């Protein structure tokens, strides 16, 4: 911050890899200073958060669908129970 205010540097950036999935990583650059780039940085971060939330929602739906299919398959394979061997009272 001091270097920026004293004119030693013109801008301050954060550069990082945005991990979208195991197969997709995107390089990102955020402008911290000057503050004129703040709005764009916040919009980009908001978009990234929305993308990650949508990705997590899709993954959860896929997991639930797989569990439901597994449960239905197990229910179809289970033989019908009979009461002939039940408890004596």
- Of the candidates 34, 1, 35, 28, the one whose C-alpha atom is nearest the C-alpha of residue 14 is 28
Is residue 86 a part of any domain in this protein?
no
Q: Report yes or no on 79 lying in a domain.
A: no
**Cα 11 from Cα 89, distance rounded (Å):** 85
Span 36-71, pLDDT tens digits: 767 787 888 898 899 889 999 999 999 999 999 999
* 77 domain residue, yes or no: no
Is residue 21 domain-resident?
yes
Q: Is the pLDDT of residue 7 over 80?
A: yes
User: How much of the chain, in percent, has pLDDT values that exceed 90?
Assistant: 33
Overall number of domains in the chain: 1
Provide the pLDDT for residue 65: 93
> What does the pLDDT read at residue 56?
92
Question: Do 21 and 4 meet the contact criterion of CB atoms below 8 Å apart?
Answer: no
Q: Does the residue 78 lie in any domain?
A: no
> What is residue 21's predicted lDDT score, i.e. its pLDDT?
82
Inside any domain, residue 10: yes
- Can you give the residue range of the structural domain that contains 63? 2-68
pTM as predicted: 0.51
């Amino acid at each position: 911050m001091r270097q920026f205010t004293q004119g030693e540097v013109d801008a301050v950036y954060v550069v990082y890899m945005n991990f979208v999935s195991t197969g997709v990583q995107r390089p990102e650059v955020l402008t911290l200073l000057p503050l004129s780039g703040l709005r764009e940085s916040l919009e980009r971060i908001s978009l990234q958060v929305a993308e990650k939330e949508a990705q997590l929602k899709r993954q959860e739906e896929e997991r639930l669908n797989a569990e439901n299919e597994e449960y239905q398959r197990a229910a179809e394979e289970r033989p019908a129970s009979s009461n002939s061997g039940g408890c004596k009272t």
